[in-house]
Amino acid sequence: MKASTLKKTMALVGLLSTMTLAACSGNSNSSTANSTATASSSYFTDSDFDSSYDTATAATIDLSGSSATVSGSGVSVSGSTVTISSEGTYIISGSSENVQILVKAADSAKVQLVLDNVTMTGDQAAIYVEEADKVTLTLAEGSTNSISDSVANSNATVDAAIYSKSDLTFNGEGQLTVKGNYNNAIESNDDLRITGGTYIVSAVGHGFNVNDALNIANAIIDVTATEDALHSDNDEESNMGNLYLQDATITASAGDDGFHASGALVVDGGSYTVSQSTEALEGTIVHILSGSLDLTATEDGINAADASSYSEASLTIDGGDISLTAGGDGLDSNGNIAIKGGSVTVIGAKSDGDGTIDYEGEATITGGEVFVVGSSGMTQGFSSSSTQASILATAISGEAGATITVKDASGQTLASYTATQSFDSVLVSSSAIKEGESYTIEVNGQSITATAKLETGAMNQTSQ
């Protein structure tokens, strides 16, 4: 549910780094799946986007009941275990119960698993990558696939429906449903990259659980999790535990965090909805370059936090269209906040113990549009190093459904907004608001005259 009815103009400025675009396509002679896409080469390799395969040379795995029939080299069957021991492409089809596909190859091997209308259920991980350099799971074009484990899983270490100790990539143009009934749905001890396909994921633990980096581009994902929807965490290496999202469409409902990274969380275009969470976005460094984000949280909305060193935490918004409803702090950083562009609407902090904007260092605004309402108890405005003026009013209040209107001295309406919960604090900034000029904020017959300042940490309004 969009929190704001304010007309927004997005200013997309700056980039986290110089982006090099990599386009790639398959080159096999007989391919049933192929994709061409672009993304930053800092986060993906060409092979991540290559979903092509040669049906003439690939080995096949035909699942049936509690076993499977295989053909081609590099794969064998023993009871209900299908072992892949060599580099190559393996096309999987059929339906099974308690069959496990085990990838146990050389640590230099690159393995491609093509899922072509696969249904796998069982007590343990249906796909387990024990060793390989990299495994790519390609969703065959037009295919519908389903993988799930059960609460009866007896392996507490391999605790996901799809589990990998090596780098793992998902691509292709099919659909995959994954249910983590024991703990997590999809887990990788190294990097996990997703560059295409449609995914419906549910888990009693994390939806996606990654140790080093979770990088997603172009995919469509719907994830429901009792814990975090997207979870990238490394408590041993501070440069790991990163999450990068580019031009994806992700809908998430989480019992804990929507998107969580112990390192950097970067949003670089796309559409993201967190309909339920404790904290919608959390990372040590949170950087939003562009994209549409509709976020709902019972506690902090966007939280930049590092338990080991507050000085390293930061929240930067270069652009995008952000709509945020929070029960606690709205924008929260244990370090600095910098808003450089985009459109940011925040509703939150009904309790005086929280702040709609909360920071330990400083908060600067140099561009973009900001409309913030919440509690006045812990209200913070922008710092003196800002170059764009703002208005902070704390002597005005309203209930859910109240209309907030900001007018300049001539009576022209600059912004209008309908609140979705009670508030007694309003913070507004845009390029139309000029330092030193007076503005009127009206709420259901109440009005406040406020002077726009670069620093709005102090109250700057008078009642009328």
Tell me the domain boundaries of the chain: 1-16+318-327+334-464, 43-204
Query: How far apart are the C-alpha atoms of 457 and 391, rounded to whole Å?
Result: 10
22 — pLDDT class (breaks 50, 70, 90) = very low
Burial letters 297-334, b for 16+ CB under 10 A, else e? bebbbbbbbbeeeeeebbbbbbbbbbbbbbbbbbbbbb
Strand (E) or helix (H) holding 46:
helix 46-49
- pLDDT at res. 265: 97
The residue-averaged pLDDT of 425-449 equals 93
pLDDT per position as a tens digit, 364-411: 999 999 999 988 777 789 999 999 999 998 888 899 899 999 999 999
* φ and ψ at residue 312, rounded to 5 degrees: -90, -15
CB atoms within 10 A of CB 398: 19
* Strands of 262-418, DSSP E: 264-276, 279-283, 285-297, 302-304, 314-317, 321-326, 331-333, 336-339, 343-348, 357-359, 363-365, 369-374, 390-393, 403-407, 413-418
Helices and strands (H and E) in the chain: how many:
1, 43
pTM: 0.89
Comparing 139-153, 193-207, 415-429, the range with the smallest average pLDDT is 415-429
